[in-house]
Structure 1
Amino acid sequence: MKRYFVTGLLIWVPLGITLWVISTLVGLMDSVLLLLPEGSRPRDVLGMHIPGLGVILVIAIVLITGLLTANILGQRLVKFWEEVLNRIPVVKSIYGSVKQVSDTVLSDSGNAFRQALLVRFPHNEAWTVAFMTGTPAPELASQLDGEHVSVYVPTTPNPTSGYFIVVKKSDTIELDMSVDEALKYVISMGVVAPPSKPEAALLRAEPLVAHRQNNPADSNLPG
């Protein structure tokens, strides 16, 4: 009975959490409909509430906003709006921080979370999965010898919190796994391992062998 109960939980818990998250997101987006004037809301027009209309409205607003701000006039309006927000003390700090993070993560030209790495953390005898986020700022790079990279070390099982560290590029090992696979591996605390790729085994072995030759202390590194 215990084994059957645990098996049932393994089926229903992920499904239930997924449905709850989707339901919450749809509910939040549907609340946007309350911003419409009375009489023009779907409930007033159709006589009933239809879940999901808020999602369509939000997607439409985002697409229209992107379309309008893609030209020179739209960019000038956005710049003017940002200058207004930057003059408000508290809003300036919050908006500026969120803006910088979103531009880095969502921009096509950004380097955030483009490569999964193996780095030493939290000490030289331990290794963990991290994500390269770019190169150190010039102020930091001028104080360091050699080539360094900026990495984000996520915590388990919540990867939204973590540590930002700067390490030597030679002390990192690029992993032959996608960012999604690495995130699943971190969130599952190492239980859900990425699928094996036999055809890439030799390619993975070469940098590991070279790293061990340059760092004899890592001879016990698995792989």
Structure 2
Amino acid sequence: MIRKYLIAGVFTLLPLVVTLWILNGIFNALVGIFRGPLTWVAQHLHAPDLPYWALALFSALVTLLMLAAVGALMSNFAGRQLMEWLDELMLHVPVVKSIYGATRQLMGAIQSGQGGSFKEVVLVEWPHPGAYTLGFVASRDCAWAVPGGEKMLAVYVPTSPNPTSGYVVMMDASQVRPLEISADQALTWAVSGGVVAPPRTGTGTFRVTETP
């Protein structure tokens, strides 16, 4: 009986724990960003250092204001031009351009299916035989890397809980099983650590389509 209650408790609280863990990581990152500048200002004003709770509150407020400001800028032509200029600037900074450019292209492709990529969710056997995970079809031609690669797919396998990091695997099309779920559902599944699963079909399993 106790084991039954423990298992029920774990499955009940796991979504909350995963959510709090992700939010805690974001929160600590924000505090770390603003700690240095605020400490510098306090030292020059001969004021005491802010306590952690005040630093955290300030960081959250500034972040919300920054997001609102960016949203307001993107709603008019001048703001969009400014963001395009900043975008070009980031893409010309050594080292930074590689990280920024790759992340921007990846998230843009996943969210909007640019170039026809990342629209199709597939089931792949990864990282070893007998283990399966979800991936996104990035391209359908790997001939540039593998002889006869015209029949191979480049599949992006996201990691959890951060889907912007992951692995790109070249696979034969016969090893890939397309699934009838959306990219958003697959991303939610990855971010939640497998807790939030896409809805099932009437048969109780994901609907698998024929491999093209």
TM class, shorter-length: 0.5 to 0.7
Is the CA contact (8 Å cut-off) linking 1:136 and 1:149 kept in structure 2? yes
1:72-97, Cα deviation, whole Å (9 max, x unpaired): x55345434543x22xxxxx2xx233
Deviation by residue 1:174-223 (Cα, 9 ceiling, x = unmatched): 211233544538944xx876422349x9xx57x43xx5xx9xxxxxxxxx
Cα deviation code 1:78-117 (max 9, x no counterpart): 434543x22xxxxx2xx23312321222224535543211
Aligned to 1:164: 168
**Alignment gaps of 5+ in structure 2:** none
Q: Choose from 59, 70, 87 the match for 2:80.
A: 70
Over 3 Å counting, the alpha-carbon distance change for 1:138 and 1:197 in structure 2 is same
Partner of 2:123: 118
Look up the equivalent residue of 2:137 and give its one-letter code: M
Within the candidate set 79, 82, 93, 2:88 is matched to 79
TM-score (norm: length of structure 1): 0.56
Give the aligned partner of residue 89 of structure 1. Answer: none
| Alpha-carbon distance in structure 1 between the residues aligned to 2:171 and 2:34 | 48
Partner of 1:25: 26
1:196–1:69 Cα change, 3 Å: same
Distance of 2:200 and 2:5 partners within structure 1: 29
AA aligned opposite 2:8 = T
- C-alpha separation in 2, matches of 1:181 and 1:6: 25
Q: Percent identity, please.
A: 24
Runs of 4+ in 1 over 6 A off after TM superposition: 122-127, 155-161
1:150–1:166: 8 Å Cα contact kept in structure 2? yes
With over 3 angstroms needed to count, the CA separation of the structure-2 counterparts of 1:53 and 1:29, relative to structure 1, is same
Paired residues for 1:120-159 under 5 Å: 129-136=134-141, 139-140=144-145, 143-144=147-148, 146=150, 148-154=152-158
Query: 1:69, 1:78 within 8 Å by CA — same for their partners in 2?
Result: no
Aligned to 2:99: 98
The question of whether the paired residues in 2 share the 8 Å contact of 1:116 and 1:132 is answered with yes
Q: Structure 2 vs 1, CA of residues 139 and 157 (structure 1 numbering), >3 Å: closer, same or farther? A: same
CA distance in 2, matches of 1:79, 1:160: 21
Cα 1:24–1:6 change in 2 (3 A) is: same
Q: Deviations over 1:33-62 (max 9, x none)?
A: 4424346x9x98xxx828544233224335
Structure-1 separation of matches of 2:180 and 2:31: 41
Change (3 A) 1:81 1:55: same
Specify the code of the residue in structure 1 equivalent to 2:80: A
Instruction: Find the aligned partners of 2:130 and 2:14 in 1 and give their Cα distance.
Output: 36
For 1:25 and 1:128, locate their aligned partners in 2 and report how far apart those are by CA, in whole Å: 26
Which secondary structure state, in structure 2, belongs to the residue aligned with residue 130 of structure 1?
strand
Cα RMSD, aligned residues only? 4.6
- Matched residues, number: 189
- Structure exhibiting the larger radius of gyration computed from Cα positions: 1
- 1:144-200 deviation per Cα after TM superposition (whole angstroms, max 9, x unaligned): 453543212356899776532223556543211233544538944xx876422349x
Cα deviation, 1:3-51, whole Å, max 9, x if unaligned, reads: 3233334334543443343234224324444424346x9x98xxx8285
CA contact under 8 A between 1:136 and 1:166: conserved in structure 2?
Answer: no
